[in-house]
Amino acid sequence: MIRPDRRLLILGGAAFLSGCDALVRNPQATCTVKKAEGLTRGAQRAVIPRTALAPEYTEREISKNFRANGSIDPADREYRALRANGFRDYRLVVDGLVERPLSLSLADLKRRPSRTQITKHDCVEGWTSIGKWKGARLSAILDEAGLKPNAKYIMFYCFDALDQTEDGERYYTSIDLVDAFHAQTLLAYEMNGRPLPIKHGAPIRLRAERQLGYKMAKYIKRIEAVESFAHIGKGKGGYWEDRGYEWYAGI
């Protein structure tokens, strides 16, 4: 037998919970709540110096089982062919708002200024793994291509579709020039001293160490400098960003 006051409490609780759900479904409420992202981004950009480095760790601290998330085996036909040939025919395209569009082989990338770093990888889901990365500095590649003055964002287009199908929507994401020119931002081709494994994004993946994992695109096919990403995908700057996740993933 439920006493009336307890029934009232249960009813009140249920009303509160369904009210919360209704608010989350409400586009206007979502729009208001998403404004916090701009505040977070502004506050973090204000307190974090442009050059501040993400913490680096020792060899001993490298994770034995670094989790591979998202795509782990792209179904893309072109990717499969490149992979079968050990990525010898792979070319990274750098274009968009640049003075000199580039087409770089893996060997070309390995000849560019590089950096090696042991950093933590923070997934939006909440887990952390630590890995050692070696890659070409994105800043050097962008300097080589020469950004036009109106370039504001760097887009990364990938071979993989998260549903692991041939026709699935391809992964993509973007970062701004603050992160693009950061010393630890790499086009990584080595992980833990070996060629980047397929499940971690071979032949190259992005490392942007002051952001969450979903910004660090794997299986990168093309890099494009743009002024705005409003016309790309659903206009939010990335695959997950189009699905409600923050564009600024510094927290």
Partner 1 sequence: MARPDRPLTDGRLAIWRHPLPVRLTHWINVLCVVVLLMTGLQILRAHPHLYWGLASDFDDPWLSFPVIPGWMTLPSWRDLAAGRNWHFFFAWIFVINGLIYLTYALISGRVRRLMEPSREELRDIPQSVVQHARLRFPEGEAARTYNVIQKLTYLVVLFLLLPLMLATGLAMSPGMNAVLPELLELFGGRQSARTLHFLAAMGLVAFTVVHVLLVFLSGPINTLQAMVTGWYVIRTEPEDATDDPA
Count of chain residues binding partner 1 (CB under 8 A): 49
Provide the minimum distance between the beta carbon of 208 and partner 1 in the complex, in angstroms, as a whole number: 9
Query: Which of 153, 154, 171 has the alpha carbon at shortest distance from 162?
Result: 171
Residue 4 binds to partner 1 (criterion: CB under 8 A): no
- Is residue 123 part of the contact set for partner 1 (CB under 8 A)? yes
Q: Is 211 in the site for partner 1 (CB under 8 A)?
A: yes
Residues 18-57: x/- map of binding to partner 1 (CB under 8 A)? --xx--xx----x-xxxxxx-xx---x--xxx--xxxx-x
Residue of the chain from 134, 210, 218, 221 that contacts partner 1 (CB under 8 A): 210
> Considering the rule CB under 8 A, would residue 227 count as an interface residue with partner 1?
no
Token duo for residue 218:
């794997």
> Would you state the torsion angle of the CA atoms of residues 185, 187, 192, 196, taken in this order, to the nearest 10 degrees?
150
User: Is residue 139 near partner 1 by the rule CB under 8 A?
Assistant: no
The least distance separating partner 1 from the CB of residue 228, rounded to whole angstroms, comes to 22
- Residue 97: count of CB within 10 angstroms of its CB: 18
Locate 14 and state its tokens: 């249920």
CB 240 within 8 A of CB 162: no
Rounded Cα gap, residues 12 and 90, in angstroms: 60
Phi, psi of 130 (to 5 degrees): -115, 130
Q: What gap in Å lies between CA 214 and CA 250, rounded to an integer? A: 11
**Contact between residue 146 and residue 213 where contact means Cβ atoms under 8 Å apart:** no
Could you say which residues in the range 55-94 bind partner 1, by CB under 8 A?
55, 57, 61, 63, 65, 67
Q: Looking at beta carbons only, is 119 or 221 nearer to partner 1?
A: 119
Q: Least distance from C-beta 164 to partner 1, angstroms? A: 20
Nearer to partner 1 by Cβ, of 47 and 84: the residue is 47
Instruction: In whole angstroms, give the CA distance from residue 200 to residue 197.
Output: 5
The identity of residue 133, as a single letter, is W
| Contact residues: partner 1, CB under 8 A | 17, 20-21, 24-25, 30, 32-37, 39-40, 44, 47-49, 52-55, 57, 61, 63, 65, 67, 120, 122-130, 209-212, 240, 243-246, 249-251
